[in-house]
Amino acid sequence: MSEPVFIMIMNHGRFGEELIASAELIVGTLEQVEAVSLTAGTSIEEYYEKAEALIQASRGKVLILTDLFGGTPCNVAMMLREKYNAKVLCGVNLPMLIEAANLRDTAGCVEELAEAVLDTGRAGVLEPSAEAEEEEDWA
Amino acid sequence: MSEPVFIMIMNHGRFGEELIASAELIVGTLEQVEAVSLTAGTSIEEYYEKAEALIQASRGKVLILTDLFGGTPCNVAMMLREKYNAKVLCGVNLPMLIEAANLRDTAGCVEELAEAVLDTGRAGVLEPSAEAEEEEDWA
């Protein structure tokens, strides 16, 4: 992609920060990836401002991965999407973050990146036994 | 369900611990939910033993939510599944954990619970704009 993509995780509590650390155990240090933690006592305004400051400090397009559709992090992400033309996905898991980090330099555009990350996130939710059985069916 | 279900998250790094803390911000304190963190320097044997000790200290059925298909936490979970007849799912996200905690007392059996959690995890990976457009189509 010609423009860099900033990946921002928005979530209740601090698990986004640790999700990044977990991904880094697998794929190495991630640049231009940040989490915005909504901790107890943070107002929506403060949370919005914290996230907006990160977007303003970044360059290029923005992909926001939120924890849960309908929660405050997701609702704030949708407000930021309007203003900054960001892409927003919900239900972030480890496969999504790794896919986003791996593909962002080669995807044609942030829309294409978001679509791939969405597919990877859904496909990553699986029961391994069922997979193994399916593989046997095809063997 | 007649037997209690122990929910165990198995993951690289520490994000499982924080995922539980994030869920607790939303649904309150969770009992019989633990994360097993695979941190740098932990051997597979140590990791297996740590997870097994938690299962042995629990009662009833076990639902294991792992971070990533094919990773060490998932592979160890699949070994424990054989021994303890646990259910294993991959790609854990916040909707899955909340659904598992909410449904475990009312689901008919751990298999039914796992199926509902799987569906919720996949459905929770979404792009909110696409959802909104779908809703408009049905309005």
Query: What confidence tens digit (pLDDT) does each residue in B23-69 have?
Result: 999 999 999 999 999 999 999 999 999 999 999 999 889 999 999 99
CATH number at residue B86: 3.40.50.510
- Whether the per-residue pLDDT at B93 is higher than 50: the answer is yes
- Nearest residue, CB atoms, A125 vs list B12, B26, B122: B122
Nearest by CB to B14, from A21, A91, A94: name it.
A21
How many residues can be counted in chain B? 139
Q: Does the global pTM surpass 0.90?
A: yes
| CB distance B107 to B113 below 8 Å | yes
**How confident is the model over A115-124, as a mean pLDDT?**
98
Percent of chain B with pLDDT strictly greater than 90: 87
How many Å apart are CA B73 and CA B94, to the nearest integer?
A: 18
**A88/A1 Cα distance (integer angstroms):** 18
Q: Kindly report which listed range (A131-135, B60-64, B93-97) carries the lowest average pLDDT score.
A: A131-135
What is the per-residue pLDDT for A11? 98
Q: Above 0.90 for ipTM, yes or no?
A: yes
The CA distance from B27 to the nearest CA of chain A, in Å, is 12
Q: A53: distance to nearest CA of chain B, Å?
A: 23
pLDDT band, very low/low/confident/very high, at B3 (cuts 50, 70, 90): confident
The confidence band for A137, taking pLDDT boundaries of 50, 70 and 90, is very low
* Rounded Cα distance, B21 and B42, in Å: 23
Q: Are A73 and A10 in contact (CB under 8 A)?
A: yes
pLDDT for residue B75 is more than 70: yes
Q: How many domains does chain B have?
A: 1
- Nearest-Cα distance to chain A for B113, in Å, is 12
Contact at CB, B89 and A114, closer than 8 angstroms: no
Nearest to A94 by CA among B125, B88, B7: B125
**Domain encompassing residue A57:** 5-138
How far is it, in rounded angstroms, from Cα B139 to Cα B125?
A: 23
